[in-house]
Structure formats: structure tokens, C-alpha cells
Amino acid sequence: METEMIRTMAAETLGLDPGNIHDKTDLVTDLGANAMDLLAVAVKMEETFSVSIDREKLLKARTVADFSELLD
């Protein structure tokens, strides 16, 4: 459930179809996301899941699976 929501957040941020984004899709290399895009996804996650994401860990997140792990 959370992974699907993160995939949707990434797709909305990048203006893409969520069906084109998979757990291991690299948002930067494969989809052209930049640091601001990744931060936007993280902010949406914080608001949606009522969490605070460690910015240092965020710097290492590149895939939907990586973002999902930030919630653990």
C-alpha cells in the first residue's frame, strides 16, 4: 500500500504515469528527477504518512523501494 502511494507521489511530481514507475526504477537516472523532485516526494510522504524523514537518509534514496524504506 505505502509503496503504491509513493509510486503515485513520484509520478505526480514528475508528470508521469505511475504504471511506468517500478520499485527499482531509479528516479534520477531512469526518469530524470533532480534533487528538488526527490525533496518534493519526501515532503509529500511526510505529509501523507505523518512522519519526519531523515534528510541524510533522503540523500541516498533513488528508487521507490529506497523511499519506502525511509518509512521504516
3-class secondary structure, 41: helix
* CATH class belonging to 2-69: mainly alpha
Say if residues 64 and 10 touch (Cβ distance below 8 Å).
yes
Q: Calculate the CA dihedral of residues 33, 40, 56, 31 and round it to 10 degrees.
A: -20
pLDDT digit string, tens, across residues 34-53: 999 999 999 999 999 999 99
55 Cβ contact partners less than 8 Å away, ≥ 6 residues apart: none
| pTM assigned to the model | 0.92
Which pLDDT belongs to residue 72? 85
pLDDT of residue 29 exceeding 90, the answer is: yes
pLDDT digit string, tens, across residues 4-20: 999 999 999 999 999 99
